[in-house]
Amino acid sequence: MPSQTLAQKLLAAASGRAAVAVGEIVTCRVDLAMFHDSSGPRRLKPMLESLGTGIWDRDKVVLVMDHYVPEADDESRKIVRIARDWAAEQALPHVYDSVGICHVVVPEHGHIRPGMLCVGGDSHSPTGGAFGAYMFGVGSTEMLGVVASGEIWIQVPQTLMMQWDGALAPGVTAKDMMLHMIGRFGMNGGRYQAVEFCGDAVRALSMQERMTLSNMSAEIGSQVGLVAPDDTTAAYLAQAGVDEPIDVARWQSDADAQAERYRFDAGTLAPHVAAPHSPANSRPIAEYEATPMQVAYIGACTGAKLEDLRAAASVLRGRRIAPGMSLMVAPASLRDQRQADSEGVMAALVDAGATLLPNSCGACSGYGGSIPEGANVIASTARNFQGRMGARTAQVYLASPYTVAAAAVAGHLIDPREMLQ
């Protein structure tokens, strides 16, 4: 049998074949379909009704209310009501309402496991690739086909192997790794192929940090962002309630599989910041002047998980945010917020002057929070496109939670490692 990358092995399994070749189009069985209040029922319900068909397997559907909650206006109330009513009407067994962002909530409940093929009604669905699953985002029409049939066709992608050697320095994170790669390759550098993250520095990452890598593979333009599973994966899933054995050995790229290979030295990586209005405008923080900031936002699926909150607290503990600075914190899930609260992390953030926001997509998608027009904003989100956070004249900079917290204290861009010494 020919050597196969992890992406090829996953698609071969999903299509019932022993092996697949790059460029082939294969029809795959879907193991999980995830959508949220914005992408799901309000679009799927009328289309399913017009087709006169139902859901192929309710147990393989997960619905998360995270974009328009808490409802702040009539339009939001309408969208969320449609989702809730449809979930009740369909008797969906996996519904998560107002408890966090889909890309965090779905994995923390053990829904994504190595070897699965999953689709999500959101562009950051590649997050699932951190678990050795082939997961990618689809639009409403493709999701309709999946929900009705349980299948989807995929062209087998080439793999771009991103190997990170060495070890990250304290205060440097997966977010910095991604901003460095996006800055180097651009937002179309992945060419809608498969990116696999590997090497000692990737293996040393926690699952939540790996999720940040896979999530932001969308920003490099790939279809999926994969990390091969290992003992760290199995331990996370066991804690999430998964009691089935995890076949770690099966879901690894063959050493001689054909792939484009790139190598990076994690030990020399510095904190990165992406300037407005693209994640590709990324460079080391030392190349920036002390640019003043008025708003700091710790939120989103890439910047407000438990470990992100801990990172921010390590900078903010015993300090106060700068005069005139607004710091908003929207924990990515209720579960992570509760754990952070039990550790004193949330108290450290609030004591420093943070305003606590609900567990939702919030200001990342321009909903919730308050981003003033014309403000300089530093955010732990994945994107800084003009107007994405609501205010079209805001200048949004992207960074890790360490860097966001440090800027909140200093009132300007600063290397967070100066506050960790």
Angle at 99 between CA 403 and CA 29, to 5 degrees: 100
DSSP state of 193: S
Identify which of 305, 296, 290, 265 has the alpha carbon closest to the alpha carbon of residue 177. Answer: 265
Tell me whether residue 230 is in a domain: yes
Identify which of 319, 389, 311, 305 has the alpha carbon closest to the alpha carbon of residue 350. Answer: 319
Q: Clarify whether residues 234 and 292 are in a common domain.
A: no
User: Would you state the structure tokens that stand for residue 200, as one six-digit string?
Assistant: 């000692």
Q: Clarify whether residues 153 and 235 are in a common domain.
A: yes
- Where in 83-129 does DSSP place strands (E)? 95-97, 117-120
User: Would you state the structure tokens that stand for residue 225, as one six-digit string?
Assistant: 């962002």
Coil, helix or strand at residue 410: helix
Q: Clarify whether residues 248 and 300 are in a common domain.
A: no
Q: Clarify whether residues 29 and 175 are in a common domain.
A: yes
pLDDT in tens, 152-194: 999 999 999 999 999 999 999 999 999 999 999 999 999 999 9
Average pLDDT over residues 219-237: 98
Q: Clarify whether residues 259 and 278 are in a common domain.
A: no
Q: Clarify whether residues 261 and 387 are in a common domain.
A: no
Which residue would you say has higher pLDDT here, 39 or 36?
Answer: 36
Tell me whether residue 73 is in a domain: yes
Tell me whether residue 1 is in a domain: no
Specify the pLDDT at position 365.
86
Query: How many CA atoms, within 13 angstroms, populate the side-chain half-sphere of residue 133?
Result: 28
Q: Clarify whether residues 141 and 213 are in a common domain.
A: yes
d(Cα 253, Cα 250) in Å, to the nearest integer? 9
pLDDT at 421 over 90: no
Query: How many domains are contained in the chain?
Result: 2
Tell me whether residue 166 is in a domain: yes
Beta carbons within 10 angstroms of residue 141's beta carbon: 9
Identify which of 334, 300, 327, 302 has the alpha carbon closest to the alpha carbon of residue 313. Answer: 327
CB 208 within 8 A of CB 175: no
Specify the pLDDT at position 1.
81
The domain in which residue 349 lies consists of 273-419
User: Would you state the structure tokens that stand for residue 365, as one six-digit string?
Assistant: 């998608």
Q: Clarify whether residues 154 and 230 are in a common domain.
A: yes
Q: Clarify whether residues 99 and 240 are in a common domain.
A: yes
Specify the pLDDT at position 366.
85
pLDDT in tens, 238-294: 999 999 999 999 999 999 999 999 999 999 999 999 999 999 999 999 999 999 999
pLDDT at 358 over 80: yes
- For the chain, the distance separating the N- and C-terminal CA atoms, rounded to the nearest angstrom, is 53
User: Would you state the structure tokens that stand for residue 348, as one six-digit string?
Assistant: 């450290």
- Please report, for the domain that includes residue 301, its CATH number: 3.30.499.10
| Predicted TM-score of the model (pTM) | 0.97
pLDDT at 368 over 90: no
Tell me whether residue 400 is in a domain: yes
Tell me whether residue 348 is in a domain: yes
User: Would you state the structure tokens that stand for residue 101, as one six-digit string?
Assistant: 């962002």
CB 266 within 8 A of CB 164: yes
- Range of lowest pLDDT (232-236, 331-335, 358-362): 358-362
Specify the pLDDT at position 225.
98
pLDDT at 214 over 80: yes
Specify the pLDDT at position 228.
98
Query: How many CA atoms, within 13 angstroms, populate the side-chain half-sphere of residue 342?
Result: 6
Q: Clarify whether residues 95 and 237 are in a common domain.
A: yes
d(Cα 266, Cα 153) in Å, to the nearest integer? 36
Specify the pLDDT at position 102.
97
Q: Clarify whether residues 357 and 402 are in a common domain.
A: yes
Helices H / strands E in the chain, number of each: 13, 18
d(Cα 360, Cα 113) in Å, to the nearest integer? 24
User: Would you state the structure tokens that stand for residue 373, as one six-digit string?
Assistant: 């027009």
pLDDT at 123 over 90: yes
Tell me whether residue 116 is in a domain: yes
Mean per-residue pLDDT of the chain: 96
Tell me whether residue 374 is in a domain: yes
Average pLDDT over residues 145-152: 97
Identify which of 93, 91, 101, 110 has the alpha carbon closest to the alpha carbon of residue 37. Answer: 101
User: Would you state the structure tokens that stand for residue 185, as one six-digit string?
Assistant: 């390759």
Q: Clarify whether residues 150 and 209 are in a common domain.
A: yes
Domain boundary among 265, 294, 322: 265
Reading across the β-sheet that carries 395-398, which strands appear in turn?
A: 282-284, 272-274, 395-398, 376-379, 295-298, 326-329, 355-356
User: Would you state the structure tokens that stand for residue 125, as one six-digit string?
Assistant: 């669905």
Domain boundary among 233, 265, 297: 265
Domain boundary among 217, 240, 265: 265
